[in-house]
Amino acid sequence: MRAMSIATLLLALTWLAACGRRQPSQTNPGAGNRQTQGQPVKDPKVARGKAVYDETGCATCHAIGGIGGTTGPNLDGVGKKYDAEKLREILLKPETLNPNTVMPPFEGSEEDLQALIAYLQSLQ
């Protein structure tokens, strides 16, 4: 019984450690140049935000266009649902939206945070 508890704890810690890390299997050369729906990204900030999304492993838990995890909410249409200020709050303090979340707060640079917000807002 104790071994099972330890194994479960180790699995949970490993899973949480994956959040915020680059997931090579999720990156796609040129992905930062296209929206999930196949539309070209014209704004370099949005393209950088897509790269930040890929590099930090957001798709481990979140799906866009049916690609990604199911632990967190689907992000299709998130740009219609939340404005930039609310997205910033969610990314920096995820527990404000869901007190039981396992999502870690964003720990990148301010520039990367702004780019990620721009990318999420582009998901209309």
Contacts of 113 (CB under 8 A, 6+ apart): 88, 91, 92, 106
Per-residue model confidence (pLDDT) at position 12: 45
62 contacts 73 by C-beta, under 8 angstroms: yes
What are the helix (H) ranges across 1-124?
Answer: 2-18, 44-55, 78-81, 84-92, 110-122
pTM for the predicted model, two decimal places: 0.70
Which tens digit of pLDDT belongs to each residue from 9-63?
A: 444 444 444 454 443 333 333 333 334 444 556 799 999 999 999 999 999 999 9
